[in-house]
Amino acid sequence: MSVTIAAIGEHALIERLRQKVGLVPPYVVLGIGDDAAVVTPERGTVDVLTTDCLVEGIHFRRDWTAAADIGYKALSVNLSDLAAMGATPRACLLGLVLPPSLPLADFDELVDGFAALARASGAVLVGGNLTRSPGPVVIDVTAIGAARRRRLLRRDTARPGDELYVSGAIGGAAAGLAWLGSGTGRSDLDALALAAVARYERPLARCRLGSAVARSGSVVAAIDLSDGLASAARTMAAASGVGVVVEGEAIPVDPGARHWAARAALDAVLFALEGGEDYELAFAVRPRLRSRFLAAAARSRGLAVTRVGRFVPEPGAWLERQGSKGDLPSGFRHF
């Protein structure tokens, strides 16, 4: 039988976590090990704070996804929220709710996946807590970033006439989830399907893009695509008191989403629009700032931004296809 986390105990687990933190920058006054962590704020910036969790059975299945990927994603979804505010990651807290029977090897892998992204992103792991779970694994993360107050990317400041842009390609993560749920074994998946699964399991938060366009001053509003493009566009418009028209033909549908949609006989554009978890960013850009926005975005090597719609005066959300306008799908709901 494999060694469980209960067998080695809380202190040893915290010690294992601490060893994965890596280099601690001078702004971290106190990291793991005291009642609370202490971080010196960056002069001239505001603190940007977000928390999100992954719950076994809701966001992941341990029999589908490797523990390292689960740990990675738990941080990535939080970094995506910082990216959507135009903030640069500085620190994070990791709360693990774990069944005592969890194999120690799974703990180590999960923490490795998390800590590798923490080091790579600059979100230094400074604290957290370990709690016994009566069943599901819950990974709760808080991420802290810094941004200039005047460069914050809110979601409620889009205006009629602004253009809607999206980063990357859309629908890949939803296709990956669909493949995982299809019962097809990984060894039977082709390259496009495997790429889609990777999009779902290891989403890349767009931190560099978010802070680059924030610093450029060209973006007037932004949101991340955790719940999909349809939901993001709808939410930005509603929060801003305006309407939005998404242009169906313009949507950069991920090849993996087209692939799955073809197999499942679904409309690829609707599938991509409604699919969650891409963790791309959506932006509202004033036409007169467009070239500045595109120049800033171009500095995020390899990541395209695409104009996919426009904000309009009348509140509401529409999808325009072949010249005719219908309601925009409502997207993913958590409850």
- Burial zone of 238 (CB within 10 Å; 0-12 exposed, 13-18 middle, 19+ buried): middle
C-alpha span between 199 and 171 (Å, rounded): 9
Binding mask 124-143 for a copy of itself (x = CB under 8 A): --xxxxxxxxxxx-x-x-x-
251 binds a copy of itself (CB under 8 A): no
Q: Nearest approach, Cβ of 233 to a copy of itself (angstroms)?
A: 14
Task: Select 187 or 335, whichever has its Cβ closest to a copy of itself.
Answer: 335
Q: Nearest approach, Cβ of 280 to a copy of itself (angstroms)?
A: 13
Beta strands at 46-55 and 305-312: parallel, antiparallel or unpaired: unpaired
Nearest to 214 by CA among 56, 63, 81, 88: 88
241 binds a copy of itself (CB under 8 A): no
Q: In the structure encoding, which two tokens stand for residue 258, read together?
A: 């087209």
End-to-end alpha-carbon separation of the chain, Å? 38
Nearest to 33 by CA among 108, 126, 112: 126
Return the residue matching tokens 């040893």.
Answer: 12
Rounded to the nearest 10 degrees, the angle between the axes of helix 191-201 and helix 67-85 is 70
Beta strands at 281-285 and 316-321: parallel, antiparallel or unpaired: unpaired
Stretch 277-306 residues interacting with a copy of itself (CB under 8 A): none
Q: Out of 21, 194, 239, 294, name the contact with a copy of itself by CB under 8 A.
A: 239
Stretch 147-166 residues interacting with a copy of itself (CB under 8 A): 147, 149, 152, 154-156
6 binds a copy of itself (CB under 8 A): yes
For a copy of itself, which stretch binds (CB under 8 A), given 83-91, 255-263, 297-305, 317-325?
83-91
Q: In the structure encoding, which two tokens stand for residue 262, read together?
A: 């073809």
C-alpha span between 143 and 125 (Å, rounded): 9
Tell me if 224 sits within 8 A of 278, measured CB to CB.
no
Q: Is 15 helix (H, G, I), strand (E, B) or coil?
A: helix
Q: Out of 17, 52, 207, 275, name the contact with a copy of itself by CB under 8 A.
A: 52
Q: Out of 69, 81, 201, 280, name the contact with a copy of itself by CB under 8 A.
A: 81
- Burial zone of 177 (CB within 10 Å; 0-12 exposed, 13-18 middle, 19+ buried): buried
Task: Find the angle CA(196)-CA(66)-CA(276) to the nearest 5 degrees.
Answer: 40
Task: Select 46 or 250, whichever has its Cβ closest to a copy of itself.
Answer: 46
Q: Out of 67, 93, 174, 261, name the contact with a copy of itself by CB under 8 A.
A: 93
For a copy of itself, which stretch binds (CB under 8 A), given 121-129, 199-207, 285-293, 298-306?
121-129
* Residues, the chain: 335
Beta strands at 88-98 and 124-132: parallel, antiparallel or unpaired: parallel
State phi, psi for 330 to the nearest 5 degrees. -90, -15
For a copy of itself, which stretch binds (CB under 8 A), given 117-125, 200-208, 218-226, 287-295?
218-226
For a copy of itself, which stretch binds (CB under 8 A), given 31-39, 162-170, 181-189, 245-253?
31-39
207 binds a copy of itself (CB under 8 A): no
Return the residue matching tokens 């009642």.
Answer: 35
Q: Nearest approach, Cβ of 156 to a copy of itself (angstroms)?
A: 7
Task: Select 10 or 327, whichever has its Cβ closest to a copy of itself.
Answer: 10
C-alpha span between 223 and 279 (Å, rounded): 10
49 binds a copy of itself (CB under 8 A): yes
315 binds a copy of itself (CB under 8 A): no
Q: Nearest approach, Cβ of 331 to a copy of itself (angstroms)?
A: 11
State phi, psi for 295 to the nearest 5 degrees. -65, -45
334 binds a copy of itself (CB under 8 A): yes
For a copy of itself, the binding residues (CB under 8 A) are: 5-6, 9-10, 13, 29-30, 33-41, 46-53, 55-59, 80-82, 84-85, 87, 91, 93, 95, 97, 100, 126-136, 138, 140, 142, 144-145, 147, 149, 152, 154-156, 222-224, 239, 333-335
